[in-house]
Structure 1
Amino acid sequence: MDQEGKVPAKSRVSTDRASIKNYLKSLDGLKPTKAVLEAGFNWSYFYDQLAEEIEEVCLAHPLKTRLIA
């Protein structure tokens, strides 16, 4: 989502390390890049992958996120 609240694109990305890095490289024009992850079974894997590549990664509580949605 950009600063005006518009979603520039939606994509599906495989969960392997190379696919995640390639996807994040495609977002280079959208700086700063931030991500929010829902806490789940393998959140730490995705957190580690994203934290290496982007400026800010936040962890969201699943039940509170559901209430907001």
Structure 2
Amino acid sequence: MGKKGRGRPGITLEDVRRACRELELQGRKVGPSNVRLELGTGSFDTIQEHLRTLGYATRPRPRKK
């Protein structure tokens, strides 16, 4: 039996780094929403994780009670 495909490949740290650089050049705010718009794909959790790794602080969303 062959291997099944896993769907789309995930975004990489380098993808997010390039998107951040492009946003900064455009004078736009670097954040999960704008990065996702720039990339056209990616989960917010993955994008936020990469932003933290790159040193862009993102505040966690307040949890509903």
Q: TM-score, normalised by structure 1?
A: 0.37
Whichever of the two has the greater Rg, that structure is 2
- Structure with the higher strand share, 1 or 2: 1
- Structure with the higher helix share, 1 or 2: 2
